[in-house]
Structures are given as C-alpha cells and as structure tokens.
Structure 1
C-alpha cells in the first residue's frame, strides 16, 4: 500500500463486492411476495448482513489507511498526533518485563525525545472494532487517525439502534419484525455511510491529512513524481 492509487484501489475493490452482495440481497427482498413470511424473514436476516458490511468495510478501510500512512516512512514530528499515539503505544506495549510505572516513564521519555525518529506505526495489526461497531467507537477510531466524522454524527441513532441493536437481538434469536420499507431504507443508509467512509479516507490521503501540519489540498511529497 505504497501509493494513494493503491489505497484507493483497495477501498474501491472492497466496497464494490459489498455493494454487489447487498444489491443482490435487496433484489431478493423486492421479488418476494409482499408481506409474506418469506419477505419478513429475508428482511430480518438482512439486518445482520447490513451490519456485517458496515463493520467489515469500516475495519478494512481504516486499516488500509493506517497501512498507507505506515508505509510513508515519516518521522513522529511529521505525523498527526493520533498516529504518534499509535506508534508510541505499540512500542510501549513491546516493552516486556517492566512495571506499569516504568512503562509510563518510558512512554513519556519517548514522546519528549523521539520527534526525529521514524514512526513505528503498527499497520499490520489494523484497527480493533471490538465486534460491536457502535457510533461512539466509530468516532473514536476516526479521531485516532485524524479524520472528521462529524458529517455522520446525525447517523448515531441509526447506527446504534436501527443497525447494531437490531442486529444483536436478531443474532441472539429474538423476534423483531422488519418490513420491506424499513429494510430498504436501512439498506440505502448503510450504503451512504460506506460511501462516506470511502470518500473521507480517500480525500485525507490526497490532502496529506495524516501530516501534523498538512495544508488542505496539498499533495504528499512522497506522491510527487521524481
């Protein structure tokens, strides 16, 4: 994941198959008899599928972005504070056999003295969505890598209740009625959120938003032709 093009290809390819699968499922819902047992069953089963693609794409995209930034080979001084935190925390975790107090001192010393060191961002690990990607966790992950999630903050209730809560209750065997109109609306909302994730990360990469002093619209020197 060395270039912006490679990052965007990864974002687009992962989004494409998810859109295709969700569209095929929606077609099945539409073709089923209105208000039939089959349609209601498809709608109920479709909510966990929508949630799976929401969590899966968010995890893939944010992990791909961290991978991309990690391969920039930048110093801590050059990076957005969130990426500095990722790197320092990963290195602190690798300090085995020392007490919590000494690890705290090590972390502070690193922050004070290692500005010019090349950042050690744990891009192979990816992000942890904790298998329950609610709006709060989503916004925290966005903030960690310097991305603005405010455009979807109004979607918090949809993510937490109409998607995650319903998914959990259905997955645990509870009966919830989901009609075709509600399912189709949720389908469209999830697709719009996935598109937001894709576009936000792509724009951040293009603008070099992962840099501490990035100027909007300015390309990363690493992507300029030599």
Structure 2
C-alpha cells in the first residue's frame, strides 16, 4: 500500500477515481440518449444502468474514503492530536478483546492505554475500515462518515434517494426481479449519484485542506 503523504497526493488520488467514474456514467447516458436505438434497448440499458450507478457510488465511497484514511495515517500525528473517531479506530481491537473477557478491569486497560500513550504515534487501521457491506444504505453510510470524522448532515435529506431509488432498485435488478426504469427517472438518478459523489469528495478534500481531522 503506497502511502499518501501530501494534500496534493490525496486530492489527485480522489480526483482520478472520481473522473473515470463520471466518464463511464456519461458514456452510458449517451448510449441511452441515442435516438437510433429501440425503446426496449433503452429500458434494458436503464435497468443495467441502475446497477452501474450503485456500483460507482459504493466504489467511490470505499476507494476515496480509504485514500483519506491512508493520508491521515501517514501524517504521523500523536494520539492526542487526532479527533476521537481515529482514536476509537486505534483501540477497536483492544475494546473487542475486553468485551470478550466481560471484565471491567479489561476495559480499564484500554483506558490506561489511551491515557499513557497520548504522545505516541497514532497507528490506526486503514484496510477494511470503510466497509460498505456491499449494501451502502444511509445507515451504513452514516457509520462510514463517523469513522472518517466527517459531517453526515450533508446527506440527511438524501435518505429516500439512497435507500429507495439507488440501493432498493439496485437490489431488485441484482436479484433478477422485474422492474421497469423510465429513461427520465434514470437520468434523474444519474444527477443524484453525481451529486452524492461530489458531496462526499468535497467533504474529504475539505477535511484534508482544513485539517479538521485533528483534535480541536
């Protein structure tokens, strides 16, 4: 795993992943807009397009979110310098182990570790933290946003779009169920997904630039 050490590195990595997804979505839209193809072919493309839109939404969140974690981890901050969500990621394994023992004293060890290591470098996990669970609903997204130390408020009004139009329809298509998607409706979904990805991208980049991942 190549370290992402500078703000420029992170912004470039996120932008590269974003651009190719936009191009593919645009290409699909162009195919559907082609006036020479039949209505049946357009309906098939719209159904397939639902799965593609979801894949790009999930893929972008997973990829860019992981890039962001790589960047924060590479900055070499001490535990005391980072927001509490990153500290939680750092001690998650210790908490799980303490939970298995079912002893207060085991949790005290977790507390003592945090207190005694405030000036130690924060080495938190990066791999598999951004877990979309192959079903990126708003509940899953909210957990990911928390792990990254971002503000979920930007997605509060998008619940129906994400859960019903995007995840719900994708599940219908993936399970081979009959569901017709009108061209106009599909184009609206295209706009929504592009907007969702742009919002997530902006949150990551703003946190990087303003260093809001640091403790206040």
Fold-level similarity (TM above 0.5)? yes
Over aligned residue pairs, what C-alpha RMSD do you find?
1.9
Name the SS of the counterpart of 1:24 in structure 2. helix
Aligned-partner Cα distance in 1 for 2:35–2:88: 50
Are 1:189 and 2:192 matched, yes or no?
A: yes
Aligned to 1:51: 54
Instruction: Output the CA distance in 2 between the equivalents of 1:78 and 1:126.
Output: 20
Within 1, Cα distance between the matches of 2:106 and 2:48? 47
Is 1:169 the counterpart of 2:141 in the alignment?
no
Mapped pair 1:207 → 2:207: no
Determine the C-alpha separation between the residues in 1 that align with 2:13 and 2:102.
39
The structure with the greater share of residues assigned to helix is 2
Counterparts of residues 52-71 of structure 1 (less than 5 Å): 52-71=55-74
Q: How many residues end up aligned between the 2 structures?
A: 211
Deviations, residues 190-213 of structure 1 (Å, cap 9, x unaligned): 001101111110010000111001
Superposition pairs of residues 100-179 of structure 1, within 5 angstroms: 100-101=102-103, 103-179=106-182
Gap change, CA 1:137 and 1:66, over 3 Å in 2? same
Question: Which among 77, 86, 90 is matched to residue 87 of structure 1?
Answer: 90
Please, what TM-score do these two structures have when normalized by structure 1? 0.87
Query: 1:55-107 CA distances to partner (integer Å, 9 max, x unpaired)?
Result: 000011111111100011111100000001011114556x69x8353653432
